[in-house]
Structure 1
Amino acid sequence: MIFFVRWLLVLLFIVLSFPFLCLFMLVNPLKNKNLHVACRSYTVINKIFSVRVAVSGFDTISTAQPYIYVANHQCNYDVLIVAEALKPGTVIVGKKSLKWLPLVGQLYWLTGSLFIDRNSPRASIQSLRKISKSVVADNTSLWIFPEGTRNKGGDMLPFKSGAFRVAKDMGVGIVPVTISPAVGDVAYNSLRSTEVSIVAHQPIEADVVASMTTKELASYTREIINKGLPII
């Protein structure tokens, strides 16, 4: 019963809020701020599900220059954990198939988030490189899940190289982010609260990024994120 009531509340909230968010984002001249506005709105869903998110490290990240945020990816709920932490001027890079999902696809597009074809590594990297030119010009940061798919709470999957190649091409730093495995234990059908953490580690600044090969950079970043596990 709790499960159905919660999902009914979520559905009502999305249906009622979506038109207003769309209107705001269509007229907002600061397009790279749209995702932050949407994230602030949809954190209400965490309250509905009694998910308490402890956010740390993000307040130390400068907004004076763009970064690429890279995080582990365990389940669909990760996006609502990210919503609690995402900084203004950041957009998410997601798989191309998301654009066809009702509401989700439209919301992604309106927030300025970006789509890439993960089925083709070459096309994926080309898309990211094309994106990077406009991103740097607009001082927009990117949020990428470099595993490419959900690891479903197990060991992290190998990191795909696209995010790290783009960081080197853009000449920007990388912010490793660890999301707690507890995100997979959200108690949808219980009044019990779920405690989840999301932690931004110290940035790997642009000069360090430039000094490493793509493979070294991916491995180094993955190690930082992995060392942050487990966290609540």
Structure 2
Amino acid sequence: MLHTIAVLLLIVYFLTIGDLIYRGRIEKIEDRKKRAEATLPLIQGILGRILKVSGVTYEVEGMENLTNIPREEGVMFVGNHRSYYDVLIAYSILDRPTGFIAKIEMQKIKPLARWMEYGSCLMIDRDNLKQSLKVIITAVKYVKSGISIWIYPEGTRSESENEEDMLPFKEGSFKIAEKTDCWIVPVSMIHTRDILEAHFPFIKPKHVKVRVGSPIRMSELSDDVKKHVGAYTRDAVIEGIRELKAKEQTET
């Protein structure tokens, strides 16, 4: 219960006092990429505090797969999605300005939506084909300008107790990589659902494990695989989950 109360207080602080303190500084930056770069450490700071008061720790393997890609080059991160905490941990490991594609419902929380926009996040309405297409086109522009994009192609959080039981990936999301030939970086996480969703609304401490997989470039794939690059990437994310779990078993 104490973890939950502390997190709520931090969120309220950030969306009120924190918003007033930092908003003016960020809004002075007109260039989108520079604004996203300036926003990233601020967001990482507040999310890091939320993780700390939640009692959440994490370890990452495979970061060399990310650091080998020039920081100024936009990539497309692809992750499994089981918890709100996926995003908190994802932000914490980023080494480059990155926007997340999120559900349009997030726009209802105005201060949060404003900071998401500062960080070059995009809101998608999956029930509106025209709006979804505009989001993909904008994401393509971002990646070409050096702003990375993080997507959760399942479209929603998976509620399965089995972490390998992922929903099918929506192939349309991979138009971003198709149009830019950017690196697709699969990212696997385990144990995030055990922080909150498994016993909502209570937050419980947990140690999360993250694996940054080998980057994938569409231009290097066969024509047959390109047609189903979503399924191909999904397999890579699942393989990362399996490797994390196998390693965990050997450590216990």
Pairwise same-fold verdict (TM > 0.5): yes
Identical pairs, percent = 24
- Residue 168 of structure 1 contacts residue 210 of structure 1 at CA under 8 Å; is this kept in 2? no
Partner of 2:249: none
Q: How does 1:167-186 map to 2 (within 5 A)?
A: 167-180=177-190, 182-186=191-195
SS of the residue aligned with 1:196?
strand
SS of the residue aligned with 2:170?
coil
SS of the residue aligned with 2:188?
strand
Partner of 2:44: 40
In structure 2, do the counterparts of structure 1 residues 117 and 20 end up closer, same or farther at CA, with 3 Å as the change threshold? same
Partner of 1:22: 23
Task: Report the TM-score when normalising by structure 1.
Answer: 0.86
Mapped pair 1:53 → 2:65: no
Q: Where do 5+ consecutive residues of structure 2 fail to align?
A: 246-252
Partner of 2:2: 2
SS of the residue aligned with 1:93?
strand
- Residue 25 of structure 1 contacts residue 111 of structure 1 at CA under 8 Å; is this kept in 2? no
- Residue 51 of structure 1 contacts residue 194 of structure 1 at CA under 8 Å; is this kept in 2? yes
Between stretches 23-32 and 156-165, larger displacement belongs to 23-32
In structure 2, do the counterparts of structure 1 residues 212 and 87 end up closer, same or farther at CA, with 3 Å as the change threshold? farther
Q: Within 1, Cα distance between the matches of 2:175 and 2:226?
A: 6
Residue 4 of structure 1: how far off its partner (Å): 5.2
Residue 159 of structure 1: how far off its partner (Å): 0.5
AA partner of residue 94 (structure 1) = A
Q: Within 1, Cα distance between the matches of 2:230 and 2:8?
A: 41
SS of the residue aligned with 2:228?
helix
AA partner of residue 86 (structure 2) = D
Partner of 1:85: 93
Partner of 1:160: 170
In structure 2, do the counterparts of structure 1 residues 37 and 210 end up closer, same or farther at CA, with 3 Å as the change threshold? farther
SS of the residue aligned with 1:132?
helix
Residue 113 of structure 1: how far off its partner (Å): 1.2
Residue 91 of structure 1: how far off its partner (Å): 1.2
AA partner of residue 149 (structure 1) = T
Residue 93 of structure 1: how far off its partner (Å): 1.4
- How many residues end up aligned between the 2 structures? 229
Q: Within 2, Cα distance between the matches of 1:79 and 1:37?
A: 15
AA partner of residue 85 (structure 2) = Y
Q: Within 2, Cα distance between the matches of 1:153 and 1:127?
A: 28
Task: Report the TM-score when normalising by structure 2.
Answer: 0.79
Residue 142 of structure 1: how far off its partner (Å): 0.8
Give the helix-richer structure, 1 or 2: 2
Residue 223 of structure 1: how far off its partner (Å): 0.4
In structure 2, do the counterparts of structure 1 residues 162 and 13 end up closer, same or farther at CA, with 3 Å as the change threshold? same
SS of the residue aligned with 1:24?
helix
In structure 2, do the counterparts of structure 1 residues 91 and 212 end up closer, same or farther at CA, with 3 Å as the change threshold? farther
- Residue 189 of structure 2 contacts residue 211 of structure 2 at CA under 8 Å; is this kept in 1? yes
What value does the CA root-mean-square deviation take over the aligned residues? 2.5
SS of the residue aligned with 2:25?
helix
Deviations 1:77-102 (A, max 9, x none): 21111121122221111122211224
> Equivalent of 2:151, from 133, 137, 144?
144
SS of the residue aligned with 1:52?
strand
SS of the residue aligned with 2:207?
strand
Deviations 1:154-205 (A, max 9, x none): 421110112212211112120011121x111127868x74100222101002
- Residue 36 of structure 1 contacts residue 89 of structure 1 at CA under 8 Å; is this kept in 2? yes
Q: Within 2, Cα distance between the matches of 1:39 and 1:11?
A: 12
SS of the residue aligned with 2:143?
helix
In structure 2, do the counterparts of structure 1 residues 4 and 92 end up closer, same or farther at CA, with 3 Å as the change threshold? closer
- Residue 122 of structure 2 contacts residue 135 of structure 2 at CA under 8 Å; is this kept in 1? no
